[in-house]
Structure 1
Amino acid sequence: MAAHLADLFGAATVTPPPPQERVEGLGLSPGDLARIMPLHAILSSEGILRGAGPTLAKIFPGEQILGKPFLGLFEIRGPGWIGDMGALLARAGQKLHLSPRGAAAGLRLRGILAPLGTGGHLVNLSFGIDVARAVGQLQLTDMDFAPTDLAMELLYLVEANTAVRGEMRELSRRLVGARLQAQEEAQTDPLTGLRNRRACDSFLTRLCRERAPFSLMQIDLDYFKQVNDRLGHAAGDHVLKHVAKVLSAQARVMDCVARVGGDEFMMVLPGLVEPNRLIALGEKIIAQLSHPIPFQEERCEISASMGFAIVQAGLGPDPATALAEADIMLYAAKAGGRGRVMGTRIER
């Protein structure tokens, strides 16, 4: 309907008959009546269609409707059961609910019947709530409606409103996407693609608030400064990206892996509170990071020291306490010769 509505106003339609004739009982020419009531029917006293507006003819495309019984063209659905002309005439002046038979069956129309002085009757119809459907199905134009009928203006408003709402939904979708992307970027380390300290602190705070069991592992790279000093920052960045891949490969979906400083990383591991599993995880990571890392024609050699703190379910310590305990274990690992993992259990 959208494409069709663009050409409605001023669109060509069937030229009404010349005004010299008069509709008996009305004193109007068929052309004037067609302009005033384009969806009208003139019936004989027996209910035979003697005249029809141009819009009414569009409901029955390709049919010769003049001379046919009105009740053969339309099904009267109310008020009450109407099966013959006598019942229809008895409801003159009442609001009628009709549906056409044939190709346009299912369209819901409203109408009112009024007697003419000649013994015939005039039925004026409208599409009511089915106007939008009728416009699309019957290819109606502005000229198919009475000049005082605001149906087309309302359809334009509906279409414009639909278009605006569509644009607003699309704008809202883009804004939500941009907001989510901004939030994601605000919590992501741009070099490694890991979470950053802000995201890690938020994750840790939530676990502490929920009194969930988890372990917190601090990871510090050994000999990283020597790589930077000898090969430059490009080599250092290459190493950091390699470390991020190693940590991500060992992490589970629910874990939070973050870069929280220059060569400092952190893993928050919900539900993982068995010391032996944590030590095995740490030793596996250290072993992988101890292999030389190729960079251009050089080899970068680093290691890692790791300290972890275990928090049992229901404890809910302050996040700073968990961080401090893990830090203590990290420095103990470094003091013990580096390239090792040490841990503790928070008791309160």
Structure 2
Amino acid sequence: MVMKSNRFTLFVLLLQLLMLVAATSSSKSLNNIGKPNNIVPKLLPPQAYLSFSHYHSSCPDLEAIIHRRLQAWFNKDYTLAASLIRLHFHDCAVRGCDASILLNSRGSERSAEVSKTLRGYRVIDDIKKQIEIKCPKTVSCADILTVAAREATVRVGGPFWEVPFGRKDGKISIDREANRIVPQGYENVTTLIKLFESLGLNELDLVILSGSHTIGRCNCQTIQNRLYNFNGTRRPDPSLDTNYLKTLKTKCSKTYNIVDLDGTTPRTFDVAYYNNLKKKMGLLSTDQSLYSNERTSNFVELFASQPSLFYDQFAVSMVKLGNVGVLTRPNEGEIRSNCNFINRY
């Protein structure tokens, strides 16, 4: 009875803490959400220039255009939803949400080793083409990608949230930065927390946004070391469930095969991802480590048992992510006519 009582008390405390964090985050003004990378704000922070009505006059059909084009793509390939959410994170993690991941040139983030399995570029190009016809030189690629991530989330059964607009597109994109910053699936929790803190995010956001792995897939090459030579031991990762390990070895008989990040309900936006971690069924070591580290394990426990809480907080954390390092001031960035290249005029 004492153990059950302690667990219940811990649960109540965590729930109160999480609700406080969620309430504080959602009630903050745009001025205070997602501070940019190591930038001391002058007068108002960049997020203060974002607005829900930014395109109301200049491109009133913007969200409808994005929605229609994405539905057409999703109807052809449902896996693009997870790809667009991932593409958005890769963009925001490096230099903020400035569409630098979309620049297609030698030595850009897009050509980085960590970006090799990214997808969704053609989808964004298609949307941009349609928007340029309707609203030329008006809508940034950064705004398009941010809305696309929201629409992708809704498509797989996740929450809807309002996206503030006004981001500009960056002109700098460096592959070395992406390789250095973006997680590759084997980092420890301390490293991940430091990355998120540099983006103005916290441990809660880390656990929540990792929950996007409730959908999506991974190349088997990424997990070969976990299956056969963990940390150079020539043995599998001991944190993997034995039966799950056997399943993965079968599915990954060839390194170019693809395996689901969520081995139980890979097409559904739910909390199975967190329950999998409790069963030692996290596909990536970065996933499984969230449950073995004391700074994040309590959040995993909480979300595994509280689907609605995960659902609501995911929207809050995605808003914060979408506001990281945005370019909004008059002397910052540009509105690209083509998402693949900086403007030449």
* Higher share of residues assigned helix: 2
* Higher share of residues assigned strand: 1
With the shorter chain as reference, the TM-score category is under 0.3
TM-score normalised according to structure 1 size = 0.24
**Greater C-alpha radius of gyration:** 1
Q: Which has the higher contact order (CA 8 A, sep 6+)?
A: 2
